[in-house]
Structure 1
């Protein structure tokens, strides 16, 4: 609650997912939890994803020492092709059993990963990674833009969404860095805490 601006619990949960810096996830969850805020949440999520190079570096530098930032990480082992193929299949089965509501979202992730790692649908994989993603992005932008009706978007509530969104984004980045530092206390192979910032989904910029 911020003076004249207040949110219900489902609305607050939808706004909080902005901290994950994942546009499609933010749109999906806000559509389920707070469809009336979908436009504003989508704008905030994609805006902060674009501002990753400005938002994350100060947080990362403030929470790490120069020595920690210079830690070199090595690959522990080579992951076999069988493991790469089994990963999306097993993940999708577990999600479908334990979190069926999230199955459509993670199912797309698993399907795309399987197409890439299987190596048997190179042409389809290339189309999905290039041409199709551009077309989907255009339609996604048009769909979200259609939700930005002036009488719903130009309100004090939108400022609250933008403010809470950047706070959530900062917390997400800080939590990833701090968790990496915590793991270093009990791990023989040291982890560069900066990799924790990639815990948010704004890749590859994160």
Structure 2
């Protein structure tokens, strides 16, 4: 397994996505191949990061990333050992320029944000807590569908998914606690401000 598969750092993940892809267009499948991992944490982080970043503004991207999160988290929930995604999601494409621009824009923030990450409170990321995390990610991803109507509407729930994924990847239970706070805030905001 490559170094990219071992990373739990946001900055290393984006480096892998940019360095291991080429061409004017990049598909979700290309990004998964670039990540080169068969574990759930980094794969759950990928759609969360995409949705929370400027790439998430691509029309239809919130639907794609939300569907990916539901499928990946659902497999965590049922105890599947290796993740699977359908070809239709893997074939969704966007401009590679958006990927490189996002890395350039968010790179310094990512390096700052990942410094405190460490393995702690594993009881909050190991089963059965991992299944609770999966349910929370599914609930958050379901909000992507109505929020897709608004530019960057999925930012808060996508950020919560990122923290859950980082917690699972690095076995940092403190991150999952913070993600739970963001989950509560996301669901409350949707309930309080949804105009319909």
TM-score bucket (shorter structure): under 0.3
Task: Tell which structure's C-alpha radius of gyration is larger.
Answer: 1
Name the structure, 1 or 2, with higher relative contact order (CA <8 Å, separation 6+): 1
